[in-house]
Amino acid sequence: MFGLEDNKKGPKKQGSEEELLDFEKDMKNATKREKTKQHTHKKMHMIKTALREGDMKEEFDQLGVLLHGYAALINVIDKTPKK
């Protein structure tokens, strides 16, 4: 299921290129990494501005959750190994 099961060739080796997710492959590319990071920071800034100004009172909790998600994404990007 999802391409992670053992195939008939034998068990996959830990850390092989086949085990990497698409996101991990993209984050090895320095330009995609920086572009994603800048885009995420831009979105975080927009959400923080909206929360400070009180524009979207109905969606305050949802925006807070989204902001935490973007912060987690930045942490994941920083922790992915660079090539």
| Contact in structure between 40 and 70 (CB atoms under 8 Å) | yes
Domain residue ranges of the chain, discontinuous segments joined by +: 22-79
The pLDDT value recorded for residue 18 is 62
Query: Could you tell me the pTM of the whole model?
Result: 0.69
Q: What is the mean pLDDT of the chain?
A: 82
Asked whether residue 44 carries a pLDDT value surpassing 80, the answer given is yes
Rounded percentage of the chain residues whose pLDDT exceeds 70: 77
- 24-42 pLDDT per residue, tens: 888 888 899 999 999 999 9
3-state helix, strand, coil in the chain (%, to 5): 65, 0, 35
**Amino acid residing at 29:** N
